[in-house]
Structure 1
Amino acid sequence: MRVISANVNGIRATVRRGGLDWLAAQDADVLALQEVRASETQLAKALEGTVFESWHVAHAPAAAAGRAGVAVLSKHPILETAHGLPGFADDGRWIEAVIEMGGRRTMVVSAYVHTGEADTPKQDEKFAFLEAMGGRMAQLIDHDAVVTGDFNICHTTRDLKNWKGNRGKSGFLPKEQKHLTSWFEAGWIDVVRDRAGDVDGPYTWWSWRGKAFDNDSGWRIDYVLDSPSLAARVERHEIGRAASYAERWSDHAAVVVDHTR
């Protein structure tokens, strides 16, 4: 089972930049997308004429048009869906899909955590979302489940190239990092860190501006977290970093994880 998590930075922009072609070439079983920024109709139109047109789709658009939005696209049947978290029902930041493949049922979650802004109401909202997210994850951990997405948090200094310059800023706050730590202590496996080991990166987001991408001055904020039963089936992972700045179709790189069936 190949799962790909990707912040598409707007599905319609991704189509224009060739991102759907790249995703189609990866031969995934499941795509978990963030920042879709589209209505149901707009998403369907974006998928027209692609391999994904015939796939099963679970989509949670945000109530505010052109904002956020998450989706799960599956080559295999989606048996159940649910969206939203307590207090965040219509934010387009959380969607669950139970997928059946080869006689197994796997819960796939696509999450898009707020960017936040330290010492502002935006940060308070981010913390509230993280609390709600942790509560739901506690209910899922004993199942075959994978929680993917753009969490907008670097867990340690290994996950942020310029960590010294970002101390005290949202995305690298100790209070944010504690949420990730609590999930890992509860048994969720950060697949990329588990497989890559104690190394810098691999980063998944780089600013469009300046030489951040060329210098690999990035942030690792996109995650694939497996429940223990699913993590035992991980075979390999890959970060879909573009070969050059000109070939980027998002400011994020996709995270690819293969599991045995």
Structure 2
Amino acid sequence: MKFISWNVNGLRAVLKKDFLSIFKQQNADFFCIQETKLQEGQVELELPGYNKYWNYADKKGYSGTAIFAKTPAQNVYYGIDNDVFDHEGRVITLEYPDFFLITCYTPNSQAKLKRLEFRLKWEEAFLKYIQTLDSKKPIVLCGDLNVAHENIDLKNWKTNHYSAGFSDEERQKLSSFLDAGFTDSFRYLHPTKTGIYSWWSYRFHARENNAGWRIDYFITSNILQSKIINADILTQIYGSDHCPILLQLKI
């Protein structure tokens, strides 16, 4: 079973940059995207053989998530059942007989960490939501989690220590999340691999110089560790400031 996750940083923009060819080439069972940046009816997207699930932000041109799935879900849930956080289109959950698939676009703490308090409250509510799902059946969580976990997950870690996405508080929240019974699939297969990132700033020729961050993840319930066949970061694919990431599971 093949999963793809990609923060497209605007679906309408990436549709002009060969998105459909990339989508067809990947031929994933599940293709999850973050930052759609659109409202219902603003794009016509023909994906034969796929069921389409959308969660739109109340604010126009902001946030938003989608999942395109070959197999229709038994149940679909939008948000995390928390009105404080469910107006930005950040989470979709699909329920299947053997697992839950969740795509997530985690709030950014922003410049000078001005939204850090909101972000940390989100983390607590989101973990509670995931644990509720995990108590029923295993989870596969993917998306832009807006945090580089360890020093090896970004190139310039020393100068970014207190930047959004690499603050001590955000990193600790991800550690606590994983310690609660979940696996970072890429690090599970590649525990010491360096120089592989999923996001690069548009400034300072960052992608050309591979001055990137690994902030996009596939995280699974620990019980699925033995089912992980492959976890990769598709750095050769362009079209966004993020590149897609991949997970293959034997389910």
- Give the TM-score, by structure 2 length: 0.93
| Alignment check: 8 A CA contact 1:141 1:228 kept | no
* Separation in structure 1 between the aligned mates of residue 167 and residue 224 of structure 2, nearest angstrom: 29
Q: How far did 1:198 drift?
A: 1.5
- What is the rounded CA distance, in whole Å, between the counterparts of 1:227 and 1:24 in structure 2? 28
SS in 2 for 1:114: coil
Q: In structure 1, how many angstroms separate the alpha carbons of the residues matched to 2:125 and 2:141?
A: 14
Q: In structure 2, what is the Cα distance between the partners aligned to 1:130 and 1:145?
A: 17
Check the 8 A contact 1:118/1:168 in 2, yes or no. Answer: no
Q: 1:89 to 1:158 in 2, by over 3 A?
A: same
The runs of at least 4 aligned residues of structure 1 exceeding 4 Å deviation read 118-121
TM-score of the pair, normalised by structure 1: 0.90
- Alignment of 1:175 onto 2:172: no
* Letter aligned with residue 58 of structure 1: Y
- Structure-2 separation of matches of 1:220 and 1:167: 15
Deviation, structure 1 residue 55: 1.2
Partner of 1:15 in structure 2? 15
Residue 128 of structure 1 pairs with residue 121 of structure 2: yes
Q: CA deviation at 1:19?
A: 2.0
Q: For residues 162-187 of structure 1, give each alpha carbon's deviation from its aligned partner in whole angstroms, at most 9, with x where no partner exists.
A: 01111111110111111110111111
Q: 8 Å contact 1:141–1:188 — kept in the other structure?
A: no
Q: Which moved more, 1:18-27 or 1:67-76?
A: 18-27
Residue from 241, 246, 254 that aligns with 2:244: 254
Aligned mates of 2:209, 2:70 — CA distance in 1: 36
Q: 1:88: how far off? A: 1.0
> How much identity, in percent, do the aligned residues show?
31
Q: What residue number does 2:100 align with?
A: 107
Q: Which amino acid aligns with 1:61?
A: Y
Which of 76, 86, 89 is matched with 1:89 structurally? 86
Could you tell me which runs of 5 or more consecutive residues in structure 2 were left unpaired when the two chains were aligned.
Answer: none
The CA RMSD over aligned residues, in Å, is: 1.6
State the match for 2:194 in structure 1.
200
Change (3 A) 1:96 1:201: farther
Aligned residue for 1:176, secondary structure, equals: helix
Alignment partner, residue 186 of structure 1: 180
2-structure distance, mates of 1:219, 1:179: 17
Equivalent-residue separation in structure 2 for 1:120 and 1:228 (angstroms): 31
Partners of 2:173 and 2:190 lie apart in 1 by 21
Distance in 2 separating the partners of 1:151 and 1:203: 13
* Count of matched residue positions in the alignment of Structure 1 and Structure 2: 248
TM-superposed CA distance for 1:210, in Å, is 2.6
Aligned to 1:141: 134
Structure 1 equivalent of residue 154 of structure 2: 160
> Deviation per CA, 1:110-141, whole angstroms, max 9, x where unpaired?
11011213655422211121111111122123
User: Whole-Å Cα distance in 1 between the matches of residues 234 and 23 of structure 2?
Assistant: 10
Query: What SS does structure 1 have at the residue aligned with 2:217?
Result: strand
Bigger CA drift: 141-150 or 71-80?
A: 141-150
Match of 2:219 in 1: 225
Q: Secondary structure at the match of 1:230?
A: helix
Unaligned runs of 5+ in 1: none
Kept after mapping to 2: 8 A contact 1:34/1:68 = yes
Deviations 1:24-49 (A, max 9, x none): 20110001110011222224x0x12x
CA distances 1:69-94 after superposition (whole Å, capped 9, x unpaired): 01111011111111112121221111
Name the CA distance, whole Å, in 2 between partners of 1:12 and 1:163: 32
Partners of 1:226 and 1:210 in 2: how far apart? 34
